[in-house]
Structure 1
Amino acid sequence: MSRKMKNKIVTNLLIERIAAEGKCVGHHEGKVVFVQNVAPGDVVDIRVTRGKSSFLEGEAIHFHEYSKDRVNAFCSHFGTCGGCKWQHINYDLQQTYKRQQVVDQFTRIGKIEIPEVKPIIGSAHTQYYRNKLDFTFSNNRWLTREEINSGEDFERNALGFHIPKMFDKIIDIEHCYLQGGISNEVRNQLRDFARTHQLSFYDIRKQEGLLRNLIIRSSSTGETMVIVQFGANEAGPIQLVMNFLQEKFPSITSLLYIVNLKKNETFHDLDVITFSGKDFIEEEMEGLKFRIGPKSFYQTNSAQAYELYKVTRDFAELNGDEIVYDLYTGTGTIANFVAKQAKQVIGIEYVEAAIVDAKLNAQVNGLDNTLFYAGDMKDMLTDDFIAKHAKPDVIITDPPRAGMHEDVVNMLLKLEAPKIVYVSCNPATQARDVALLTEKYTVDKIQPVDMFPQTYHVENVVRLTLKS
């Protein structure tokens, strides 16, 4: 079937709605057709890229009509870079579809009886809202068809983002609308400096080259962290690069570097060297300070993180007497945020370095009613642990995209805490877990929060109350 359908042209396809993962849907000869970079209301011709017995996937090659809900994409890289796939859809409609995504995951997939899902809390900023971006150096820049067909030689060294589904191709970014401050200037000037001085950009296939990765973190307090990851331990060139950044950008408050000779860019097991400034930046929320180190996790939209945590705290309805368990606590941001309204908060997290940050943040803020433990959640949350720390009155859980392990869900059912507040960046796995919890719990509040404008991603908070 797939060979017969591939490259077939389907004409005058009406795009009807948005489905999971931001793909749009139409129908052709009884089959569902998934198409990217279109909007509901578009009428298009598509080339089939994948064909199955029950569905097709395709790319738009010609537009007969444009949707009334379309807007002009503001980024010159839109359509090639995979970062902001919904730039062409107006923001009000983006929010409508994200809320509907939550409804669909819970009612159609989870088959859960739920209250009315509240209107999504939209982001006041739909551009320059991220506080962290990762850029990759590459000696294999993505070339457009026009460049390839011209037969000319082009600059192949690039600093930017991976092309979707192509691990070794990097689109060279001129201006990114995701992060403000000095982010664009740092990236572009470092790239130009490296080209001028003929420093080697990383070859991901050969696993060699000096310049490998650039991470820029910023905070609402005006601080900036820049981390350069080098793929070769060459003292002279490393010093050259770091001196350039220090002198060119004196506003960088935390200038760090890493020598990474591994076959992947993860650096949680590597030493981070402070070249100048501090080894952390600080965020602030309701007077609380949160130190963010190079290995720390922090929500990448600071303003919306505050909205998310306020919803979480409101759903918990704390009066000061509760024992709160904060599962998958990370660097303890939620735990420390709600601590003043609780008797005690106990945070559990798999990553040991994150727990070090959580304890430090509690200390910085003078919080003496928090406890933090590192370990695998399904191994930590045991009868002995509960007996030692008392049974929770409220459980807050914010697991990774994969959701909670089945053993953790079973322990929550066994614990029978009066309230569970479940925060998730993936409503699909959240709905799966909540469906299991409805054996003993009722879903009584659902609040989506838009952390990532111009994308299909949505954060969601659910409150479950123990059945009487």
Structure 2
Amino acid sequence: MKIEIKKSGINGEGIGYVDRQPVFVEGALPSETVEAEIIEKNKTYMTAKTRQIIHKSKHRCTPKCHIYKQCKACSLMIADYELQCQMKEENLKQSLMKYASVSSSLVRPIIKSDQIFHYRNACKIPFGMEGKKLVTGMFQPNSNYFTPIEECIVHDKQIERIRKEILIILNDYHYKAYDSSVKKGFRTLAIRLLGNHAQVTLVTGEDVIDEECVQRILKIPSVISLWQSIHTQKKTVEIFGNKMIPLSEKRFLDFDLKGVHVKLSPRSFFQLNTQQANRLYDIVKEEAGQVNLLVEAYSGIGGISFTLRDNAKEIIGIESVKDAVVNANMSAKENRLDHMHFICDDAAYKLEYLSKHKEIDMLVVDPPRSGLDENMLNVILRSRIKKIIYISCNPATLGKNLAVLKKKYQVNKVIPLDMFPQTAWIESVTVLTRK
């Protein structure tokens, strides 16, 4: 079927129309004409795959990754960086208009990433077997088909070096990938690199890792912290198991965040593009202004709160991950930031309590891709919070949330950042003030 691609979808696919019905075409770019095979038909849309490009976009390029089609994580690798940013910015504008009637004039130009390859400071990559050899790779979307990865070109080069050295060591001890029937084997390799220091977590079944193997991993240059996570549950999206075992004397990954010495545990979240994360924090600081009480929901290790330490007389962070809260409070104490403290609790529940007992000047939220849930939205609408800074990694959920928040709040501006080059993901900062 011949299809003209009019625009791009939120996952990086091309969108054309057949009999006025949208067709989402994998592997196609805006302005292209393609021969496509229909994969699925629904009442309101169809999905298809590109079989042949009849008219090629001037922005199309050859993917630098040879398993691009199998992995599918970097869906925009077929486009040059100029088009990637155009597509992301346009998708953000379309989502905000579609769901919340937010004018595109409020969306600022996207802030591009200086690094478009080798920018990711962390990886969580599954183990698998290639013959008798333990390897790392990716499961293809919605399948159990495992594809080994020799080199990932969006990972920091040091992460790739560490990953390969760990695989050599584990294979020297003849370790295998996880087998659910015996609850043993290696499931996931997690590596985080900040500065020149790396923290490694081996997610396994009920295995005891040889001490000599542990010491060899700790001798890998840059590796200063090593953990084992026991994970034997089935059908879970959680990477880490409930049991965490430190295998090194040094448990935390220490780094400098805007002049604050911060500690990270394996479970604690930190932005994956360090350079763009610093730009994100600068934007939030510029937009925050001076306030008395600032609350950060979904605060993680407190990265944004620490950036805003001079913008508020009191800062309270709310986070549901206990390890992250422990890290944040340790960092606040170590840096003598007595006006800051972090609470382990449900964001909506604790925010409602705080809003009843304190006058909150500003709320900063950085929720997961699913956005703010109904409870959180209702708490915000019932509160008298004067200003909101909403950090989002999903234009669709951001648009849906803004549609609700607009009942009481005015959208002032939306600032997009490209945190994840080669992928369809886009980060944004939205500033709202109470009407």
Q: Which amino acid aligns with 1:442?
A: Q
Structure 1 residues 207, 185: closer, same or farther in 2, change over 3 A?
A: farther
Unaligned ranges ≥5, structure 1: 1-9, 142-153
Q: What SS does the aligned partner of 2:126 have?
A: strand
Residue 368 of structure 1, CA deviation: 1.1
Q: Aligned to 1:171, which of 139, 147, 157?
A: 147
Change (3 A) 1:268 1:88: same
Q: Are the counterparts in 1 of residues 393 and 425 from structure 2 also a CA contact under 8 Å?
A: yes
SS in structure 1 at match of 2:70: coil
The C-alpha deviation readout for 1:262-317, integer Å capped at 9, x for no partner, is: 335533521222x2351111232321222111111111111111111111121212
2:55 is aligned, of 56, 61, 65, to 65
Out of 123, 129, 139, the position equivalent to 2:119 is 129
SS of equivalent to 1:120: coil
Q: Which amino acid aligns with 2:198?
A: T
Matches within 5 A, 1:105-116: 105-113=95-103, 115-116=105-106
User: Could you tell me the TM-score, scaled by structure 1's length?
Assistant: 0.87
Residues 410 and 431 of structure 1: is their aligned pair in 2 closer, same or farther, counting only changes over 3 Å? same
* Separation in structure 2 between the aligned mates of residue 54 and residue 409 of structure 1, nearest angstrom: 29
Question: Does 2:331 align with 1:341?
Answer: no
Q: How does 1:287-326 map to 2 (within 5 A)?
A: 287-318=259-290, 321-326=291-296
- Would you say the 8 A contact 1:336–1:361 is kept in 2? no
**Which deviations, in whole Å up to 9, do the C-alpha atoms of 1:26-53 show, x marking residues without a partner?**
2223332111122223332222211123
1:210 aligns with 2:181: no
Give the Cα separation in 2 of the matches to 1:229 and 1:355.
Answer: 22
Name the CA distance, whole Å, in 2 between partners of 1:96 and 1:77: 25
1:207–1:159 CA distance, 2 compared to 1 (3 A)? farther
C-alpha distance in 2, partners of 1:421/1:334? 11
How far does residue 456 in structure 1 lie from its aligned partner after superposition? 0.8
1:104 to 2:94 alignment: yes
Q: Is the 8 A contact 1:202 1:209 kept in 2?
A: yes
What secondary structure is seen at the aligned counterpart in 2 of 1:253? Answer: strand
Question: What secondary structure sits across from 1:407 in the alignment?
Answer: helix
Q: Which residue of 2 aligns with 1:364?
A: 334
C-alpha displacement of 1:193? 4.3
1:466 equivalent to 2:427? Answer no
Distance in structure 2 (CA, Å) of the matches to 1:113 and 1:437: 15
Residues 220-369 of structure 1 aligned to structure 2 (within 5 Å): 221-235=195-209, 238-247=210-219, 249-263=220-234, 264=236, 266-267=239-240, 269-273=242-246, 275-318=247-290, 321-369=291-339
Q: Is the 8 A contact 1:25 1:33 kept in 2?
A: yes
Is this contact kept in 1: 2:227–2:244, CA < 8 A? no
Q: When the two structures are superposed, what TM-score results if normalisation uses the length of structure 2? A: 0.93
CA distance in 2, matches of 1:213, 1:425: 24
Q: Distance in 1 between matches of 2:330 and 2:173?
A: 41
Consecutive unaligned residues of structure 2, counting only runs of 5 or more, are: none
Name the aligned partner's letter for residue 113 of structure 2: S
Alignment of 1:306-455 (within 5 A): 306-318=278-290, 321-382=291-352, 384-388=353-357, 390-455=358-423
Q: Give 1:36's aligned residue.
A: 26
Contact 1:301 1:451 in 2 (8 A): yes
Aligned 8 A contact 2:119 2:154 in 1: yes
Q: SS at the partner of 1:432?
A: helix
Give the direction of change, closer, same or farther, for the CA distance of 1:246–1:200 in structure 2 (3 Å limit).
same
Cα drift, residue 454 of structure 1: 0.6
The count of corresponding residues between Structure 1 and Structure 2 is 433
State the partner residue of 1:146: none
Q: Contact 1:211/1:229 (CA < 8 Å) preserved in 2?
A: yes
| Matched letter for residue 461 of structure 1 | V
Write the distance in 1 (CA, Å) between the matches of 2:255 and 2:5: 42
1:4 aligned partner: none
Give the conservation status (yes or no) of the 8 Å contact 2:355–2:384.
Answer: no
Checking the alignment, whether the CA contact within 8 Å between 1:115 and 1:444 is kept in structure 2 is no
DSSP-derived class of the 1:20 partner: coil
